[in-house]
Amino acid sequence: MKFWQKIYLFSILSFVLIFNAASIMVIERNHSKMLQQEINHTLSANMSVNSSVNAIIPILRIYDSIDYEKTVLTNIAKEFVDKNRDSSIYLEIMNAKKKTVYSNTDFAMPSERKELVDLQAGEIKYILRDIGSRTLLFTTNLTDINRNPYIFTYIKDVTPVYAERTEQYRFFAKVDLGACLFFMIVMFFISKGLTKPIDQMVKTAKVIAKGNFSERVQLKSKDEIGVLAANFNEMAAVVEDKINILERNNSEKQRFINNITHELKTPLTSIIGYANYLRVTKYDGDTFLDGLNVIYSEGKRLEALSAKLMDLIVLHEDQFVMKRENLTGIILEIEPSLAMKAREKQIQIRLECEDCYLMLERDLVKILIFNLVDNAVKASPSHGSITIRTYVHEGTCRLEVIDQGTGIPKEHLDKIFEPFYMADKARTRSSNGAGLGLSICQSIAGIHHAAIEVESEAGLGTAMTVVFTEAVVQREVGEWQSYG
């Protein structure tokens, strides 16, 4: 059963139960009130008859005649009945032997009359009886006249009271039927309207399940269902982001595999080809030397590639011990190696450093700096210059490596940290590069909770800035120059 059908069914059942119970209570309460009024009125009439009799008791004592008593009582009863002829009342007077003195009843009296049992003087008893199709109210009292007890029974036809209740139930049945039909129609639209947002979410969930993760629930309600829809959209957005990340990671992994396969295949093809060529060719000194140079060059390229890949593997283990180190001290320590690297192209290394004390992994930071400088050297023309700068800015320590080289086109800036990505493939291959340097730098920066910012313009050079946060800094400005 659908949710809207449950709402529809349970609301109708609740309405029917509550509406019928309330209506029955109202009808019964109204009937009880009217019946009580009739009982009170009948008891009052009975007392009125008794008062009339008590008023003539002194006269009856004077005559002290039973026949006279019967005649007087009969006259009083007839007079009372004549005054209330339109009220459907009956009056019965019996003597101590329960013989009728007067009666205007038009129905057979019941053989068993509980109201006469243990009847005491001054006491009025009443009882309701169904006689034929009528309901009659019997009120009985005992009056002593000249030491002769007489039983007065005042009877009122209360059938109209019960007929009124029956009529009310008939009217209620019609109203109940109409109200239920109207409520069913209204609740059909209400239940469908209330569950419409849920239906939208179900349809959206099915669309998302089929792979369209950008689908969202279009609902602007501010109630609980609106909040649920908003949370559903947030969940769908998170799922979409996670799926996109997974797809991007899978794409990067596939591209990584393709690239590493290509990077390994190229030098291996050269090595195997030249080795086979030298194996089947008659010895010639120059040819043999050229082949060995190619094999050596490609072998060094494989060696560099394997070292870079090993760095990437090690960086993903995430088991490094950080110590408080001076970033400038690390730069000064590897400065001779950097100068030797720059000397090949007669590039000048400039150091402009402030002391920055950070929690660092010394060897990883050396790899970071070396790769940044190595990229700068490869991008720089001969007789150029590279600046390495450290300084404190707004509570952070910044490491900058600035070159005046070829720069990086804007369309490549968002991809340069991907493994094996090379903006200038010809230059990178000529320098035995594999496009792993910046990917390694980014991994090292991530381990140190740092970020790498890139500013570059084609033909004017590149500035790589590593921003270390939460730095404990001691300033001691120094400036060094080193020439390759």
Q: Is residue 274 part of a domain?
A: no
**Residues 359, 327: contact at Cβ < 8 Å?**
no
Assigned domain for 196 exists:
no
How far, in Å, CA of 219 to CA of 221, rounded? 6
90, part of any domain: yes
> Is residue 40 domain-resident?
yes
Distance CA 468, CA 330 (A): 15
Query: Which residue, 165, 199, 227, sits at the end of a domain?
Result: 165
CATH of the domain at 446: 3.30.565.10
Of 143, 165, 187, the position where a domain reaches its end is 165
Residue 150 lies in a domain: yes
Q: Which CATH number goes with the domain that contains 144?
A: 3.30.450
Residue 259 within any structural domain of the chain: no
Per-residue pLDDT of the chain (484 residues; tens, 9 = 90+): 788 888 889 999 999 999 999 999 999 999 999 999 999 998 988 888 888 877 776 776 666 667 777 788 888 888 888 887 766 789 998 887 888 888 888 888 888 888 888 888 878 899 999 998 899 999 998 888 777 888 999 999 999 999 999 999 999 999 999 999 999 999 998 888 888 888 888 888 888 888 887 888 777 777 777 788 888 888 888 888 888 888 887 876 776 676 667 667 767 877 888 788 788 877 777 878 888 887 887 787 677 667 666 666 666 555 677 888 999 999 998 888 888 888 888 899 999 988 888 888 888 888 889 889 988 998 888 888 999 999 988 888 999 999 988 888 887 777 787 766 655 544 444 444 456 778 778 888 888 889 999 998 888 889 999 999 864 444 444 444 443 3
Structure confidence at residue 426 (pLDDT): 44
Using the CB atoms, write b or e for 48-69: b if 16+ within 10 Å.
Answer: ebbeebeeeeeebeeeeeeeeb
306 CB neighbour count, 10 Å cutoff: 12
End residue of a domain, out of 165, 181, 197:
165
Q: What phi and psi, each to the nearest 5 degrees, are found at residue 204?
A: -65, -40
What is the Cα–Cα distance from 177 to 182, expressed in whole angstroms? Answer: 9
Domain membership of residue 323 as a residue range: 318-483
Residues 160, 38: contact at Cβ < 8 Å?
A: no
Fill in the amino acid letter for 175: V
pLDDT score of 339: 87
- Structural domains in the chain (count): 2
Q: Is 378 inside any structural domain?
A: yes
344 to each of 11, 114, 180, 340, 374, how far by Cα in Å? 88, 133, 97, 7, 12
Q: Does residue 176 fall inside a structural domain? A: no
Looking at residue 410, its amino acid is: K
